[in-house]
Structure 1
Amino acid sequence: MIVEHVLNDADTIQGLSVLYNVPWQDIADYNNLEYPYTMTSREAYYTLYASGYLLIRRQAVSLPLTLYAGSLFKTDVDSQGVQKVYELVEDTTLAAGAAEGYFYVRSRLPGSFGNTIANSIVLPNSEPGSLSVTNPEPFTNGKDAKVCLTGQIVYINNGTELATTPSAEPFGGTDLKMTPDGDLSDDGAGDWEVVTGIDNIKQAVSHRLVTRRGSLTQHPTYGSRLHEFIGLAQAPYIRQLVELDIHETLAYEDRIDGVTVDNVVIQQTSYYVYLTITVAGRQESVELTVTQAGVIAA
């Protein structure tokens, strides 16, 4: 039997070996993995993406110039029609007058695709002569790693047959209804109120996103890290990390087949996430809004 295991950020190839009683070498070979075998999406962002420094020179001008995180730099289109794109990681400022500085950029795609030769990167749409942009050194640290990332599936061939038992569980399941403050609510007839179907899936998504990962000692991988992004500037690379965290968090929810993050807004001590989920086993999509208070609205 082939088991599909959705990888969480605490999984290791050795841990999967113990969990399924299968030699770790067999798991690695079956999935065509190489050391370190597993990696979180955040680790991949800092490990697999090509990055380096640009040298930016500016002619004498009376005012300073600020380049904001997420500003894009590109290579020229090559003979194969390929153009590589890089983004500035942090806000940077060139002083007034003639100025120059080195600024850190990262490829927008992982792997060796982002590697490039020296003096190949430019600032698109800049006024002629106003700025001089180049990468004095080649970018060579983009890696094509045969690893499985958090939220992806590791296939386990354990050689056993699956015994199937029909399930009477209704679509979406049933659970106790929780208020935005995390309290139970009564149904007005002397019992606790429950939620089923789509409403229960919405509540499950809410709980996973607003719970701080690591706050439940018996379930260390449950929850998200969205709280870590509160107060940070809304640079494109921060949004990418937010989206990665949402996908990692909801990868454990087997009642949804897919997640699309439509927008992310971080305002000082608050965040708002607008996403669309695809319900598992149904041709049905639901648009949701999530805040740090856990309120979800269709």
Structure 2
Amino acid sequence: MSIYCKHVISQGETLQEIAHYELGDMSKWTDIRDINDLEYPYIVETPEEKLKNINHLLCVGDFIYLPKTQKVQNEEDLEDFSIDDYDKKEIYDLVVGRDIYIRPDLDCLLDDSAGIIVADNHKDIKLTNGVYNVFQSIILRIMTKQGSLYLHPNYGSTFTDFIGKPINNTNKILMENELERTITTDRRVRSANVTSNSLHGDTLIFDIEVKLEHENVLLSFYISVMNNGYVQIGLYND
């Protein structure tokens, strides 16, 4: 078990500058790199850039861990921990962002009433983060008609245009392509794949797998669409 102190990364800081001002020796920047398991370019400006190599990059506002030195004066800033036990899930939840939780009305028409803002136990607006935040974003992208959002003409999907049309092989392929295209417009998504589609009476069901910008994160969910416009969306790995 090693002793480390925390430092919050400021705009424009480099490992060399942190080593110079916090450790008194610029050459110790490699120690900081190794302790935090960083890879070039080590520190980036935005969470979006960090997603490109989330396990080995830090961004402005993140904590970086430094070896204890004589310069450390505030013992409250010291922590006993093992780098191997560092909670990467908490980091990922922070990086992918936080948003207002919108409870989808899953037995609903694809229209403006398809989501409801709810309160938490403290009567505040409920928030969501992490993987579910990405899933919520995917739902909203699919359910929003492309071009309907003011000042964002490319946001949304044409998927709903197919509802009510004949369910034939051509339309199913077009729907699959539009689902995959829409989902991958979210920069937190690495890839999207409609793994199957099946017809049950007047209901068409798509099974979808989405790989996020993290080596261990895979979303599996389904979308079922009825000819009357009603849909159901749900996570398989909820």
Question: TM-score scaled to structure 1, two decimals?
Answer: 0.41
1:297 aligned residue:
235
1:230–1:270: 8 Å Cα contact kept in structure 2? no
Q: CA deviation at 1:268?
A: 9.1
Find the residue that maps to 2:94 and give its secondary structure. Answer: coil
Q: CA deviation at 1:171?
A: 3.6
2:40 aligned residue:
none
1:231 aligned residue:
164
1:230–1:269: 8 Å Cα contact kept in structure 2? no
Relative contact order (C-alpha < 8 Å, sep 6+): which is higher?
Answer: 1
1:260 aligned residue:
193
Higher alpha-carbon deviation: 219-228 or 230-239: 230-239
**Residue 221 in structure 1 maps to residue 101 in structure 2:** no
Deviations 1:227-249 (A, max 9, x none): 11112233222122112211221
In 2, Cα distance between equivalents of 1:228 and 1:266: 18
Q: CA deviation at 1:272?
A: 3.7
In 1, Cα distance between equivalents of 2:192 and 2:153: 22
Partner letter of residue 242 of structure 1? Answer: M
Partner letter of residue 249 of structure 1? Answer: T
Q: CA deviation at 1:177?
A: 0.4
Alignment length, in residue pairs? 136
Deviations 1:232-286 (A, max 9, x none): 2332221221122112212211111111102335789865432000111223222
Change (3 A) 1:269 1:189: farther
The structure 1 residue matched to 2:101, chosen from 174, 177, 190, is 177
Structure exhibiting the larger radius of gyration computed from Cα positions: 1
Deviations 1:60-89 (A, max 9, x none): xxxxxxxxxxxxxxxxxxxxxxxxxxxxxx
The percentage of counterpart residues that share the same residue type is 20
Deviations 1:146-177 (A, max 9, x none): xxxxxxxxxxxxxxxxx932144814211110
Partner letter of residue 297 of structure 1? Answer: L
Q: CA deviation at 1:212?
A: 0.9
Structure 1: state its 5+ residue gaps.
1-162
Q: CA deviation at 1:213?
A: 0.8
Structure 2: state its 5+ residue gaps.
1-42, 46-58, 63-92, 105-113, 225-229
In 2, Cα distance between equivalents of 1:270 and 1:228: 16
2:147–2:154: 8 Å Cα contact kept in structure 1? yes
In 2, Cα distance between equivalents of 1:265 and 1:211: 24
Change (3 A) 1:198 1:276: same
CA RMSD across the alignment: 2.6
Change (3 A) 1:232 1:266: farther
Partner letter of residue 136 of structure 2? Answer: Q
Partner letter of residue 44 of structure 2? Answer: T
